[in-house]
Amino acid sequence: MVNILSYLVCEIRTIPYLNPMRLLTSLAMAALAVFSCNPVQAQDSWKEAQTYSGIDMSGPDALANGIINCSRVPISGSALNIGTESNYLLPVSVDQAAGVIRRVEDSTTENDYLLSKPAAIDNFRKLNITDSSLKTLKWLNLSTAEKNRLSDAFKNGSSDKINSTWSAILLDRATTFQSNGLLKAEPYDLGGTPFKLAPELVGLLKQRSPVLKRFVSVMDEIMTGKPGVNLPVVYYWENEKIQGSQNIGLGAVHALKTATGYQLADLTYYSASSYYISITLHELWPVTVNGKAQTYVWRGDYVISPSIGYTRGIERMAAENIMILEVKSTIKDQINLAAKAK
């Protein structure tokens, strides 16, 4: 815990809406309290989520047959922040559910690829950036040095050079994250104040302080890059389309086994376009519904995106509704994948 607390003292002061000492106190108390609560019956352990959830919780019986409870949560601090929280059931045991979320049950999909540790250039052999795909990128999130490297590749004019340069940039970011965590990530050069990923992410989660307190142990792993406490980190890269625009991303799934289930954090720590950074937090509890072992899931999705900053009123509500639909679609895929893993 020392590394992340030291970081918060030194770096969080750069975000004016955070109170470093108050945050330190909260995190220190949370580290002692998160998993030391009074024992509860396993069937009712999901009610722990009521202490930090930003939405009304539905009980296991109300979520039977694939019902998903998902709503927006207001996140102040920055107009770029947007978030939703959800609860639902996965039709498998809690251990199997953790495997599904950690991507163990579905290690490779069409646009989603596992990374080795340490990451290797061969991990990106399926990366294929073409002139047409480059045109679909809304913008590029790059450091100053990365911009210079990519500019040189474009001057060369060779698609092979562009792909090899992209691969090298992704490899460097993946290696840095695996070794040193989000703290050492190169900031994006956005033409003004550098966008520092770690303080911006903590700044977002500070607006949902009960959630930050609950997941402080997992966040410590993310910030410092230290190995998982009791489960290995799953690293991956993805090449996908988000609302019609191509995006290349790097991510990692951190998991922690708790006294009653699991906590997981799926972090996209690098996004080339579409948004700056995102994190999806899960907490899992075993429940029995209709005589069958299932897993109760609380989930929080939080994103920092420049495009959301330009929306107001009805437009922002529309953007939030789109996010809810996308989250629900992802959860449905998760439920289907869990059903296959039985």
The pLDDT tens digits for 21-57 are 344 344 444 444 444 444 445 679 999 999 999 999 9
Out of 9-13, 46-50, 322-326, least confident range: 9-13
Could you give the CA distance from residue 124 to residue 78 in angstroms, rounded to a whole number?
34
| 271, 262 Cβ separation under 8 angstroms | no
Q: For residue range 99-136, what is the model confidence (pLDDT) as tens digits?
A: 999 875 444 456 789 999 999 999 999 888 765 556 55
Could you give the CA distance from residue 157 to residue 132 in angstroms, rounded to a whole number?
14
- Give the long-range contacts of residues 17-22, CB within 8 A, separation 24 or more: 17/77, 17/203, 17/206, 18/202, 18/203, 18/206
Q: Give all strands (DSSP E) within the chain, no chain letters.
A: 69-72, 81-90, 112-114, 234-242, 245-257, 262-271, 277-289, 292-304
- Per the DSSP assignment, residues forming a β-bridge with 292 are 289
Say which residue, 321 or 270, is predicted with more confidence: 270
| 266, 227 Cβ separation under 8 angstroms | no
| 114, 102 Cβ separation under 8 angstroms | no
Give residue 159's pLDDT. Answer: 81
Give residue 318's pLDDT. Answer: 80
Q: For residue range 249-291, what is the model confidence (pLDDT) as tens digits?
A: 999 999 999 999 999 999 999 999 879 999 999 999 999 999 9
Residue 339 predicted with pLDDT over 50: yes
| Mean pLDDT to the nearest integer, 140-169 | 87
Here the tokens at position 249 are 């991303």
| DSSP code, position 55 | S
Categorize the per-residue pLDDT at 12 as very low, low, confident or very high, splitting at 50, 70 and 90: very low
Residue 95 predicted with pLDDT over 90: yes
- Select from 187, 199, 229 the least CA-distant residue to 34: 229
Could you give the CA distance from residue 76 to residue 136 in angstroms, rounded to a whole number?
30
| DSSP code, position 145 | H
Residue 141 predicted with pLDDT over 50: yes
Question: Euclidean distance between the first and final Cα of the chain, in Å?
Answer: 37
| 212, 205 Cβ separation under 8 angstroms | yes
Residue 247 predicted with pLDDT over 80: yes
HSE, side-chain direction, 13 A CA sphere, residue 152: 9
Could you give the CA distance from residue 150 to residue 15 in angstroms, rounded to a whole number?
30
| 179, 255 Cβ separation under 8 angstroms | no
3-state DSSP assignment of residue 310: helix
HSE, side-chain direction, 13 A CA sphere, residue 294: 22
| Mean pLDDT to the nearest integer, 79-103 | 93
- Per the DSSP assignment, residues forming a β-bridge with 300 are 85, 281
Q: Is the dihedral of CA 157, 158, 159, 164 positive or negative?
A: negative
